[in-house]
Structure 1
């Protein structure tokens, strides 16, 4: 195991609900995603970390989710994006084939943050390493609700997330009482259709 992934594991803890990655999936994304990510897939699989607060996922499962979020936005034609990771609450980490780790979407708030990565072209592997080293538990734990949600609702599987019902964009409260365990793809697709995707503003922070 390389040093970067070892540090990532020290930050989050060991894997949960691992799925083996078929060779066909690795070949499907060769040249589109960093080689080092494909190596991590082969060695570690797709799985959750930190008891399921952060997930490295199969981008193919989320192609429809990405398309639904980006439809009608400037990003739709700007680059080809793939979802490489997500949080338990629907924070989405997208990888652009040209622009690298350049777009994050907070699903439950319909907000995005765009970045200009210095790691493009032949620096994509370094970009992926930088991404993994920048991720922490706290930023993926919306309102410190992860542990209470896991205690109340149970541990997540690879295709599940914690979602607010009713959705926050419908005016629902962001409390534990309104969290449910939901299917990730279906819930994220629903959220993408509720409100227009807008950039974070300083008032959101």
Structure 2
């Protein structure tokens, strides 16, 4: 195991609900995603960390989610994006084939953070290691609700997330009583259709 992922595991702990990555997926994304990420997939699979607060995912399962969120936005023409990770409450981490980890969407609020890539196209392995190193547990814990939600609703599987019902963009409250365990792809697609995607004020794209 390389040093970067060892540091990541020290921060997030061991994996949950691990799935092996088939050779077909490795072939599908070679040349589109960094070789370093594919090596992590090969060694560690797709799984959750910190009891499921952050997930490294199969991008193919989220192609519809990516299309739904980016349709009609400037990002649709800006790069080819793949979802490589997501949080328990629907934080979405996109990887651009040319721009790396340049886009994050907070789905519950329909807000995005976009940053100009610090890395050239031939430095994507370095960019991926930087992305992995910069992850932290608290940034994916919406309102410190993860532990209470896990206790009340049970742990998440790879295809699940904690969602507010009704959605916050429908005016629902962001309280534990209004959290449910929902299917991630379906819920994220629903959230993409409620409100127009808007930037956080500190986005620079």
Equivalent residues in 2 for 1:94-173, closer than 5 Å: 94-173=94-173
Alignment root-mean-square deviation, CA: 0.6
Alignment-derived partner of residue 26 in structure 1: 26
Aligned partners of 2:58 and 2:157: how far apart in 1?
Answer: 14
Deviation at 1:117, TM superposition (A): 1.5
TM-score (norm 1): 0.98
C-alpha distance after superposition, 1:136-157 (max 9, x if no partner): 0010101000000000000000
C-alpha distance after superposition, 1:10-56 (max 9, x if no partner): 01110000000001101100000000000000100000000000000
Alignment of 1:177 with 2:177, yes or no, is yes
The unaligned stretches of length 5 or more in structure 2 are: none
Deviation at 1:120, TM superposition (A): 2.8
Aligned partners of 2:44 and 2:198: how far apart in 1?
Answer: 34
The unaligned stretches of length 5 or more in structure 1 are: none
Aligned partners of 1:98 and 1:120: how far apart in 2?
Answer: 8
Higher helix share: 1
Aligned partners of 2:116 and 2:101: how far apart in 1?
Answer: 8
Alignment-derived partner of residue 195 in structure 2: 195
Deviation at 1:122, TM superposition (A): 1.3
Aligned partners of 2:119 and 2:31: how far apart in 1?
Answer: 15
Aligned partners of 1:41 and 1:115: how far apart in 2?
Answer: 25
Instruction: Show structure 1 runs of 4+ deviating over 3 A.
Output: none
Q: Which stretch has the larger CA shift, 120-129 or 11-20?
A: 120-129
